[in-house]
Structure 1
Amino acid sequence: MDELHALQEVLRGQRPVEWDQLPDIPLYMDQVLSYMDRQSIRVDESDALTSAMVNNYTKSGLVPRAEGKKYGREHLAYLTAICALKQVMSARDMALIIGKETEGSHSVEEMYQRFRTSLDQALEHAAGEMDPYLDEEKLADGAVHFALLSYAAGVASRRYVNVLRSLEPESKRKK
């Protein structure tokens, strides 16, 4: 199954760049979208980030407003995290956890590095879990296995988000 071996290699090797490798020059929207294609693993075109999505993330407060029409390193860090998280959680939940990750003395750089570490561990784990399911007769078993891993991780993630939300002051919870 060449497709699955190729995916396994992508999971083992493709990562968002380190903070200091993010462009340190401002980028226009079309450059941001092109750059983000290299920052995340996409299965198909429906996973692509669009300018409308960036605008919606900005309007909802998930991403800071562009400086003029240019986006910097911090914008790219936020968008990299959002591109992965949008696959599994709502914008409201992303706003909560990204807000918690960057509140107080925590910088966007620190949030980005923690995100990259967690993503690296998750991708390595998924790639390693693929080995028993690479034969044609194991495809259905593999699909079920990964669906159930996703289900279990989703249950855990939703619980963490609920606990975080319950710890917020009442005034913030109603938003």
Structure 2
Amino acid sequence: MNKDTLLSMVERLSSCKDIQLSDIPSIDLYVDQVTTLFDDKLGDTKREPSEKVLTKTMINNYTKSKIIMPPKNKKYNKNHMILLSLIYNLKQILSINDIKLLFDPLFNKANDTKGHLKKNLDELYAAYLAIKEDDMKNCSDYFSNVLDHVLAISSEKNIGSNNDKDILMLLVLALTAQAAFNKRLAESIIDEYFSDKNN
């Protein structure tokens, strides 16, 4: 096991960029143009090169589920792109139903059957990108701390002295335990503050 190799993985993954506000064209786009934009800008985030970041079917499903508003004249605007970018990140962790609950406060539901947005999403999205970028700067330190902890416990318990894969397995278990906790915490916040029973 090579610590430098693991740290270079962290650096590579933490340097993957999101779709920036400046990446979104000022003109509305057809669905094929939207999927191309997402593949171009988020291609580095794919695990396999053959994966699609976003497909027409996904976009149609998000529209049918009322997570995003319907396109106007088959074209998608800046707010659509922002919501789709957020969905792309959220769906790695949350269910579609949880994403819908999270997004519901953004829409004007009272007298509006078309699901228009209450506000412009630019500020919210810009704040999200700033928070994520700052957090990504700390990923190497966080990972180093987890790895050091795994190595210390492994040494104490005499694990992995002849097999690096035992240590790597413990590292994956530690990372997924933290990811599972964060997922459960996010779900608990949605249950407490966004679910129908609390509105």
Partner of 1:172: none
Structure 1 runs not aligned, ≥5 long: 170-175
My pick for the range that moved more, 58-67 or 153-162, is 58-67
Matches of 1:161 and 1:18 in 2, distance apart?
26
- Across the aligned residues of Structure 1 and Structure 2, the Cα RMSD in angstroms comes to 3.0
- Give the structure, 1 or 2, with the largest relative contact order (CA under 8 Å, sep 6 or more): 1
Matches of 1:68 and 1:47 in 2, distance apart?
25
Contact 1:62–1:95 (8 Å) recurs in 2 = yes
TM-score, normalised with respect to structure 1 = 0.78
What pairs with 1:1-175 in structure 2 (closer than 5 Å)? 4-37=6-39, 38-39=41-42, 41-44=45-48, 45-46=50-51, 48-100=53-105, 106-131=119-144, 133=147, 137=164, 138-164=167-193, 165=195, 168-169=198-199
Structure 2 runs not aligned, ≥5 long: 109-116, 152-162
Alignment partner of 2:9: what SS? helix
TM-score, normalised with respect to structure 2 = 0.70
My pick for the range that moved more, 122-131 or 23-32, is 122-131
Whichever residue aligns with residue 146 of structure 1, its letter is L
Equivalent pairs counted in the alignment come to 169
Query: Which structure is higher in helix share?
Result: 1
My pick for the range that moved more, 63-72 or 144-153, is 63-72
Contact 1:33–1:51 (8 Å) recurs in 2 = yes
Runs of 4+ aligned residues of structure 1 deviating over 4 Å after TM superposition are 1-6, 101-106, 132-136
The structure having more radius of gyration, on CA atoms, is: 2
Contact 2:19–2:85 (8 Å) recurs in 1 = no
Percent of residue pairs bearing the same amino acid type:
21
How far has the Cα of 1:46 moved from its partner? 4.8
Matches of 2:121 and 2:106 in 1, distance apart?
8
